[in-house]
Chain A
Amino acid sequence: MKFNFWYVSSLSISLIVAIPILTVFTSFFQDTSNYFEILKQTFFFEYIFNSLTLLIGVLFLTFVLGAGSAYVVSFYQFPGANFFKWALILSFAVPPYIYAYSLFAFFENYGTAFTILKYLFGDGEYNKHIPKFSGMFGLILSISFSLYAYVYILARSSFLYQSQNLIELGKNLGFSKFKSFYSIILPAARPAIVAGLSLVAMETLAEFGAVDFFSVNTLTTGIYNAWITFDDLAFANRISFFLLLFIFILFLTENLSRKKARYHLEAKGGFKKKEKIKLCGAKSLFAFIFCFSLFFLSFLFPLSQMLYWTIKFPENLVGIQITDLLLNTLYLVSISSLVLLFFALISNYGNRVSNKKTLNALSTLSISGYAIPGVILAIAFITFVAWFDENLIKALGFLSIKKIFIGSVLGLVIVYFVRFYSLAFNGIKSGYEKMNISVDESAYLLGYSKTKTFLNIHIPYLRNSLLFVIILISLEIIRELPITLILRPFNFETFATTAYISASEDLLEAAAVPSLCLIIIASFFILLTSKYILRDNDE
C-alpha cells in the first residue's frame, strides 16, 4: 500500500481531537475516591436535576423566541422587519456570562432598576418590588437570550426555503394562520429547528461562565468541582458519564437533523420567492413589539447596562490595557483561524480527492470536539500533557515539554483547535458540497494539475466560505472563556478573561469595560457575517 498523504493527515487531525476526549475517559477510570458518599448522592442528583431543569427551560425559551421571531420575520412585512432580520442575530455578541452580569446587576437590591425608579419617582422602598433574577431562573434567561439566535437563524433559513405550495396548501385547506403555522410550516421546518435546538442544548451543557456566576451546579461544573476542588476522579467519572450520554444524544440528533434539513432544502420543487404578507394595524404593531422587545432584551439591555457602568464608574477605564487586550484577542484569533483553516482545508480536500469511507468516518470523529465542554477539554489537555511528559518524554531522558503546551499560546491554539475544528471543517465542507466533483475533473481535463485546481479553482470558489469560517471562529474565540482562562500564559488576558476575573471578585462594574469592548467587537464581526448568515435571494 502506498503512503497516502490524505489518509495520514486526516488520521492525525482526528488523533489530536481524540486525545483530550480519550483522556477524559481514561483518567476517570482511576479510582481515587476520598470523598464522602453523602455529599456525592446529594450533589449527584442536584447536578442532574439542575442540568435537566436548565436544559428544559432554555430549550423552551429559545424555541419560542427563535422560531417565533423567525416566523414573524420571514412571513410578514411590517415596519422594521428588514432591520430586525439581521438585528436579531446581534444577540450572539453577548455571551451568556455577560448577559448574566447585566441581568444580576440590573435587578439586584440597589441595582440599576432601583436607581432608575429612584430617579423617576424619588426615594422609596423599591427593592421589595423589583423581581430578582438570580440562580436558576436568571441562568435560564441569560443563556436563552444569548443563544436563541441559533434557532432563529436555522428556522429562518428553513422557512425561507419552504415552497410557496406548502403555504398555499394551508390556505387551500382553509386553515387559519395559526393552524397553518403549527400544522404545516412548523413541521416542515422541524429538522432545522431541532438542529438549532441541539446546538443550543450543547452550548448550554458546556456553558461555564454564567453557570459559575449564578453558582448553579450543573453536570459540567460538577465535573469541574469534583475534579479540580476535590480531586475525586471516580465521582467526576460518574458525572461525566451522564454528561457525555446527554451530549452523545444531542450530537446524534443534531447530525441527523442537519442531514434531514439539507434534504428538505434540496427538495426545492416549486420554489419561488415568497410574497410576504403585509401586516397592518394592531397586528403590525404586535409583530413590531415582539421583535423589538426581543432585540431590546437580548442586545440593547446588556449593552446599555455595560455602557451605563462604564460611564458611571469611569475610574475603571484607567489601568485597563484595552489595546493589549485587543491585540491579545486578535493574536489568538488570527493564529487559531489560520491553523484551523489550514487543516480543515487539507482534510476537506483530502476527502474530496480520495473519496474514501474511512476518511469520512475519521472526519466525523474529528468534528466531535465541539460537543465537549471547553472546561473539560482544557483540563483533559493539561492532564494528558502531564501524563505524556511524565511517562514518555522524561522516561526517555528529554527535557520536559510541559511548558511548551501548558500556559502557552500553542497549547491554547491546540485546544481551540479541538473545540472549534467542526466549525472550520463544516464551513468549508458546505462550500465544497455546492461544487460538483465534475468541476474538479473538468479542470484536470482542461489541463490544470491537482495543485493548480486547488489554488486556481477551489480557493477562489471557497473564498466566501473561508471568510465566513474565519469570522465564525473569531466570534467564538472572542467570547471563549474557560479554555482561555485555564490555559493562558502569564500576563495574558483577553476581554473575556478580564471581565470574568473582575466579576468573580465582586467587581462587576470593573467587568463592564472589557464586556463592552467584547460586545462591540463581536457585533462588528457579526455584522460582517450577517450577509452570509442571512442570504435569502440565493438560487
Chain B
Amino acid sequence: MKKISILSLILSLILSTFAIANEVNIFNARHYKADAELYDKFTAATGIKVNLINGKSGALEKRMIEEGADSAADLYITADAGRCGAFQAKGMTQSGLTSSTIKSSVPKNFRTSHWVGVAKRARIIYYSPERVTGAELSGMSYEGLADPKWKGRLVIRKSSNIYNKSLVASLIANNGKKATAEWAKGVVANMARPSEGNDRAQIMAVAAGEADIAVANTYYLALMLSGNKGAEQQEAAKKVKAFFPNQDGRGTHMNISCAALVKGAPNKANAIALVDYLLSPSAQEHFTNNTFEFPMIAGVSPSPLVVNNLGLDFKQDLKTKVSTYGKNQAAALEVMTAAGWK
C-alpha cells in the first residue's frame, strides 16, 4: 500500500509539470518586491500568469543552458548588461525581442534584438564633503580613481562583482586593455581597505570615515535616504554626496536592468507583452519609486529622492555601447585580478 501511494505521488508530480496554461516563465535574478508587484499587475491586466524562478544569475544561466531547447524559460531578467551580453554570446538568447513599444521607447544604446534594458542606473563616485574638496573633485573621471592623491582614501567592492566588471569592461572599450591594467594597479594602490561588502557598505564606509570616496550605483544612496534601511542609515547617507564622473568627456558609465528573450522560449509572444508592459509609464514609475533606478523611457521622472539628492542633469555615456560589457568581461576580470584586486 505504501508503494502504491508513493507511486501515485510521483506520478502526480510528473504530470503536474506538463500542465499547459497562458503563462510566461521568467528566470529572475532581480529580487525586488517591487518587481513581484509589477508581475502581479501584469497578470491582472492581461490574464497571463507569470511563473518565477528566483536565483543568482550564474545558477539560473547554468540551468537554462543545461535544460537547452527543453527549457521552459521565456525571459531572463537580470541586473547588468554585461550578463545579458555574455548570455547572448553563449547562444542562449534569440532575436525577436522587438516591438513598436520597445523600438519607440528604449534608446538604441540600451537594447539589442535579443535583450532590452528596462531600467537604468549609473555607477558613480560618492564622497565625503567634509574631507574632499571641490578642487580635488573637479573634472574627476573613472580614470582619475588611479590618481595617487586618493591613496588610502578609496573604497570599492570586489572584482568578482558584475557592476565592477562592466565598469572595467567599458574602460577597456575606451582606453584599451593595457592602459586599463595600469589603471587597475593604481586603484588597488589607493584602496583604504581590501575590497569587501556591497555597494551600500562602500557608501557607509565613507559616511563612517573609513574612506573619503567610494564607487557605487546610484540607487543605493536613494535607498538609504528613503529610510527603508532605518533611521541610522538615512542619517549616514546625508553625510555623503554624489559625484557624476567623466562629465567633461564621454559621460558617466551607465548600466541597465535587462530582460533577455531565451532561445526556444515557449511563450515568446507573452514574453514580449511582458517587456512591453515593463516599459509602460506606470510600470516605469513603479520602478523608479521603489528601486530608485532611472526610468528607461522618456516622460517618466526618477524618484524625487534621486532628483533632489543626486541630480538629473548629468551627461550619460551613450557612446560606449552596453553590449560591449559582456564582450570585455573576461578581460576586465583578468586585469583586476592581475592587479591584486580582491
A residues within 8 Å of B by Cβ? 35-36, 38-39, 42-43, 108-111, 114-115, 118, 125, 127-128, 134-135, 215, 217, 224-225, 227-231, 312-313, 319, 335, 338-339, 342, 379, 382-383, 385-386, 389-390, 400, 402-404, 406-410, 485-486, 488-493, 497, 501-502, 504-507, 509-510
Contact = CB atoms under 8 A, between A and B. Distances in A.
A215 B18 CA distance: 38
B137 interface: no
Nearest to B203: A109
Contacts of A224: 58
| Interface residues on chain B, size class | 35 or more
Contacts of A385: 66
Given A38-B337, A404-B14, A228 B208 contact: no
B66 A406 contact: yes
Contacts of A108: 197, 201, 204
Contacts of B205: 109
A463 B56 CA distance: 41
A410 B10 contact: yes
B13 A109 contact: no
Interface of B, secondary structure class, is helix
Interface in B151-208: 158, 160, 194, 196-201, 204-205, 207-208
Contact of A110 (B10, B30, B204, B338): B204
Contacts of A115: 230, 232
Contacts of A491: 51-53
Most buried by A among B25, B66, B90: B66
A402 B67 contact: yes
Given A36-B330, A493-B54, A502-B31, A125 B204 contact: no
Interface string B27-64: 00011110011000000000000011111101101110
7 contacts: A43-B337, A128-B210, A217-B160, A335-B9, A390-B68, A509-B230, A510-B33
Q: 9 closest A-B pairs (Cβ-Cβ)?
A: A127-B208, A490-B51, A109-B204, A109-B208, A228-B58, A110-B232, A505-B31, A386-B66, A400-B70
A52 B215 CA distance: 32
Most buried by B among A35, A385, A403: A403
B2 interface: yes
A231 B90 CA distance: 10
Contact of A489 (B53, B90, B204): B53
Interface of B: 2, 6, 9-10, 13-14, 17-18, 25, 30-33, 36-37, 51-56, 58-59, 61-63, 66-68, 70, 72, 90, 158, 160, 194, 196-201, 204-205, 207-210, 220, 228-230, 232-233, 235-236, 330, 333-334, 337-338
A404 B194 CA distance: 45
A233 B70 CA distance: 23
Contact of B210 (A109, A231, A510): A109
Given A134-B197, A135-B194, A386-B68, 13 more contacts: A39-B334, A109-B205, A109-B236, A110-B236, A127-B204, A128-B208, A228-B58, A313-B230, A335-B9, A342-B6, A406-B66, A501-B31, A501-B55
Nearest to B13: A410
B36 A319 contact: yes
B208 A110 contact: yes
Contacts of B2: 342
Contacts of B194: 135
A42 B337 contact: yes
Contacts of A35: 330
Nearest to B201: A108
Contacts of A114: 232
Given A342-B2, A488-B53, A227 B196 contact: no
A339 B334 CA distance: 47
Contacts of A134: 196-197
Nearest to B25: A490
A390 B51 CA distance: 26
B38 to A, nearest CB: 13
Contact of A228 (B36, B62, B196, B201): B62
Contacts of A339: 6
Nearest to B9: A335
A486 B59 contact: yes
